[in-house]
Amino acid sequence: MRYAFLGGALLFALLGMSAKDHTTVNPAQFPPTYVPSGQEIYQQFCAACHGADAKGNGPAVSRLKTAPPDLTTLARRHMGKFPYDYVATVLRFGTGASAHGSSDMPTWGPIFQIIDKENEQAVQQRIKNISAYLASLQEDSGGVIGPTPISAPGR
Ligand code: HEC
């Protein structure tokens, strides 16, 4: 009885292992350039500071030296147009302040390069997805700028 249980556990572990190998090597299941949606990336990496609604009041705010800006006013603050180039530059190289080590905003370029295993195409796709998601959150986009806002579940 006991051995049967152990055998079962071992079999389970082996199956688990092979299933894991499968995902890493089978490109049909997960293309090498698989990049999550902008919303998923945002909630995972940005919401802690910028807030789930991107208005700048995430749970980590009290521990920051600089308040994270409201990301839903980016278009308004850039003459009514969502600043794709600016956002891409900030994500890749950091804000001007981070270059001098005085910003709480992480420089995401090198982090995404690690996550995306040095796949430049995937890094670009990741930045594109985030930008499109942020564009969809602009306060007065009215669904015109970027894709239709995806309503977060439970709100
Ligand atoms: C640890 C907290 C923190 C996290 C996590 C974070 N940010 Fe920031 N972010 C900040 C702060 C603080 C600033 C303003 C600081 C500065 O200007 O140097 C900022 C600035 C920005 C700006 C410039 C905004 C403007 O109004 O000019 C953008 C765009 C931005 N963040 C996007 C993101 C995105 C996208 C993510 C997730 C990939 C993210 N941030 C994750 C703290 C954070």
Q: Check whether residue 19 and residue 59 sit in a common domain.
A: no
Q: Check whether residue 16 and residue 42 sit in a common domain.
A: no
Nearest to 84 by CA among 153, 40, 135: 135
Three-class DSSP category at 125: helix
Q: What's the confidence (pLDDT) of residue 72?
A: 97
Whole-number Å distance, alpha carbon 58 to ligand 1 midpoint, is: 11
Q: Check whether residue 55 and residue 127 sit in a common domain.
A: yes
Q: Check whether residue 35 and residue 108 sit in a common domain.
A: yes
Q: What's the confidence (pLDDT) of residue 104?
A: 87
Q: Check whether residue 89 and residue 132 sit in a common domain.
A: yes
pLDDT band, very low/low/confident/very high, at 8 (cuts 50, 70, 90): low
With a Cβ cut-off of 6 Å, ligand 1 is lined by 45-46, 48-50, 60, 64, 66, 68-69, 71, 74, 87, 90-91, 95, 97-98, 103-106, 108, 130
Domain membership of residue 7 (yes or no) is yes
Q: What's the confidence (pLDDT) of residue 134?
A: 98
The atom of ligand 1 lying closest to the CA of 130 is: 35
Q: What's the confidence (pLDDT) of residue 3?
A: 61
Q: How many domains does the structure of the chain reveal?
A: 2
Q: Check whether residue 103 and residue 67 sit in a common domain.
A: yes
Domain membership of residue 80 (yes or no) is yes
Q: Check whether residue 120 and residue 49 sit in a common domain.
A: yes
Pocket probe mutation, ligand 1, options 37, 50, 89, 114, max atoms within 8 Å of Cβ: 50
Q: Are 49 and 61 in contact (CB under 8 A)?
A: yes
Q: Check whether residue 11 and residue 55 sit in a common domain.
A: no
pTM comes to 0.76
Structural domain span for residue 2:
1-28
Q: What is the pLDDT of residues 29-46, one digit of tens each?
A: 455 668 999 999 999 999
Q: What is the pLDDT of residues 104-123, one digit of tens each?
A: 899 999 999 999 999 999 99
Q: Check whether residue 13 and residue 54 sit in a common domain.
A: no
- For residue 130, pLDDT beyond 60: yes
Nearest to 70 by CA among 84, 59, 58, 85: 58
Alpha-carbon distance of 54 to 43, in angstroms, equals 9
Mean pLDDT over the full length of the chain: 80
Q: Tell me how crowded residue 112 is: count the other CB atoms within 10 A of its CB.
A: 23
